Amino acid sequence: MDIRLQIKSLLSEAELYRSQGLFLEAKDKYHAASAMIHKVDKIKNKESLLKAISAKIQSLEKKEEKVKTGPASPELSEKGQDLIKNLFGENDLQKAIALAKFGQFERAIVELTPLLKDDVYRLEAGKNIIRCKLAIGSVDDAVDQYNRWDSAELFTADQLASIRKYLQSRLDQKGIEKPLPVPVGESVDNNTISNSGGIEFSMPEPEAELLDINSIGITFTSGAQKGKMVEFDVNFQSGDMLSLIISKRDKGLIDDLKDGDKLEEIQFYSPIAMFKGTAVIANKIQIDSGPKQGDFCLDLKVTST
């Protein structure tokens, strides 16, 4: 694997662990990335990047000491944010999404907003602005943003319908009763998707922004659950990596699963579609600290749909 991709992979894994409260595992990944960067002379702004990673490690150490809960992410300096953008993004949209994945939501919104004027990026930029506002905890702000777009002529009816379905599904999951207005002129197909149980949907290539996945159904092919489909909520998504938190009470459901296992029959559910595919178990870890202590973090890498 290319050295740049290896570093990106390590930093992505570190952020994934950090977001789930797995501070020790996150630090290990950051240390591994730092060691790799030290060995490579051709990386631009090498020292600044190492300082940004060091700041992340120090923040994790403080969180461990205070046994804090929740995945709040410290704001990096502007220079540190720029480094993340350039390391993880090939275009303006990818760079903005990279900031969001590293918890830099306010800066990500700033970067995404100008993309609303671009026909190519408009829809994905809009979805990610909503995602960032929800991540910050600004539910009312996200709803207000949607309502402002609904009153404007920035998006087509179908584009706005797509954003609405994503936001409405998130509100419903949180138990928040805030019905959103249906865009005038929304197509019949979009109106009937949720009632018909979904449509077959092919995911973009791995380098593209993947469809948001709210939950999955795993059909077990061995063990006590052989032949049964069990549904799990997706707690975190980073590209084609899905993270599930399994309660210790449900430990028996995943006892027979181990790292590297391929899951052949998975049903993916999103706000606008459901489709089948496969995935590989990237990590299965029991959480040893924080509010989820004793529960399991199951990371799946989507391999095909």
Over residues 94-110, the pLDDT tens digits come to: 788 767 766 677 888 99
Q: Any idea which of 45-59, 70-84, 112-126, 255-269 has the lowest mean pLDDT?
A: 70-84
Compute the C-alpha angle 265/266/269, nearest 5°. Answer: 150
CA 239 – CA 211 distance, rounded (Å) = 9
- What's residue 179's pLDDT? 82
- What's residue 220's pLDDT? 83
Please check the confidence at residue 284 and state whether its pLDDT lies above 90.
Answer: no
- Superfamily in which the 215-304 domain is placed by CATH: predicted glycosyltransferase like domains (2.40.10.220)
CA 10 – CA 58 distance, rounded (Å) = 17
Here the tokens at position 32 are: 């591994």
CA 35 – CA 223 distance, rounded (Å) = 40
| Residues 184-189, mean pLDDT to the nearest whole number | 54
| Residues 269-277, mean pLDDT to the nearest whole number | 77
Please, are residues 188 and 180 in contact by the beta-carbon 8 Å criterion? no
Q: What is the DSSP string of 69-134?
A: -S---PPPPHHHHHHHHHHH-SSHHHHHHHHHHTT-HHHHHHHHGGGGG-TTTHHHHHHHHHHHHH
Instruction: Grade residue 290 by pLDDT with cuts at 50, 70 and 90.
Output: very low
Q: Which of 74, 73, 101 is nearest to 87 (CA)?
A: 101
Q: Which of the pair, 246 or 212, is modelled with greater confidence? A: 246
- What's residue 204's pLDDT? 34
Domain ranges of the chain: 3-88, 107-192, 215-304
| Residues 167-175, mean pLDDT to the nearest whole number | 80
| DSSP for residue 194 | T
User: SS3 of 38, please?
Assistant: helix
CA 63 – CA 55 distance, rounded (Å) = 12
- What's residue 50's pLDDT? 87
- What's residue 291's pLDDT? 47
In the chain, % of residues over pLDDT 70: 77
Please check the confidence at residue 111 and state whether its pLDDT lies above 90.
Answer: yes
- For the packed helices 46-66 and 3-19, what is the interaxial angle rounded to 10 degrees? 20
Output the average pLDDT for the chain. 76
| Residues 27-53, mean pLDDT to the nearest whole number | 84
Please check the confidence at residue 254 and state whether its pLDDT lies above 70.
Answer: yes
CA 155 – CA 292 distance, rounded (Å) = 40
- What's residue 177's pLDDT? 80
Instruction: Grade residue 148 by pLDDT with cuts at 50, 70 and 90.
Output: very high
| Residues 169-179, mean pLDDT to the nearest whole number | 79
Compute the C-alpha angle 31/288/260, nearest 5°. Answer: 70
Could you tell me the CA-to-CA distances from 241 to 15, 106, 206, 212, 282 in Å, in that order? Answer: 12, 23, 10, 11, 9
- What's residue 85's pLDDT? 76
Please, are residues 33 and 14 in contact by the beta-carbon 8 Å criterion? yes
